[in-house]
A = this chain, B = another copy of it.
Amino acid sequence: MTELGKLGKLYGLGIGPGDPELLTLKAHRILTTVPVIAYPTLENGKVFARGIVAEFIRPDQIEIPMPLPFSVKRSSQPHYDMAAANIAEHLSAGRDVAVLCLGDPMLYGTFMYIFNRLSGGFSVEVVPGISSVMASAAMLGVPITYRNDVFAIMPATLEAEILRDRLSVVDAAAIIKLGRHFAKVRQILDELGLLDRALYIERATLPNQKIIPIREVDPAAATYWALILIPSQTKPQ
């Protein structure tokens, strides 16, 4: 095979929740050696993922911003199609491409939309990352689960009834993507008697991280980058 015929490799790099030191050694190695780096950007100009690893990126690395729609009401499909085509061009030319993924690539990530478009034609390696859920528990200083506990991660975007049902059958939970759904979630936690156990944290591990007693959170100010952790009540010995 000629060098021209050699395809590049696609990496899904979990870069963790925000603190650059929470990259793994492996993600750091790949990030600092690939010729091409791709990352999602929002149409409103926010570039969260790149900011986390900015200190590690060299001027000679090619960067591919992947614009995604800011509103959930608009389809992301054409945006992912375009990003995948752009990435595929570099892979076809033999250049490895690392796609930056907040948290872990396989857990509610945007990487899977690129993954599903390109894994048929190219070699893909996924590097797991620290999820904001585990990072939040570490920052809050509270163990999530012990021994035989069942632990669930659920998005606040779900209907109230589904959230209530799922929360009532698990020992510990993390409710993610709070944003404008905070008031609904708070009401459900109150109904289930979980409000005293629930902990609220915003932007875990970032310099502007906030931990707020849940009864004092302003529903209008709750961000998408916040989660509620309900730790297990199991008493360890």
Contacts and interface: CB of A to CB of B under 8 A. Distances in A.
Interface in A119-145: 119, 124, 126-131, 134-135, 137-138, 141-145
Interface in A151-180: 151-155, 157-158, 162, 165-166, 169-170
Interface residues of A, number: 63
A143 B109 contact: yes
A22 B26 contact: yes
Contacts of A143: 105-106, 109, 112, 115-116
A220 B186 CA distance: 46
Nearest to A26: B21
A237 interface: yes
B138 A148 contact: no
A108 B24 contact: no
A137 B170 contact: no
A141 B126 contact: yes
A19 interface: yes
Given A77-B237, A148-B158, A138 B169 contact: no
Contacts of A107: 134, 137, 144-145, 151
A138 B126 contact: yes
Q: Which of A19, A107, A127 has the most CB of B within 10 A?
A: A107
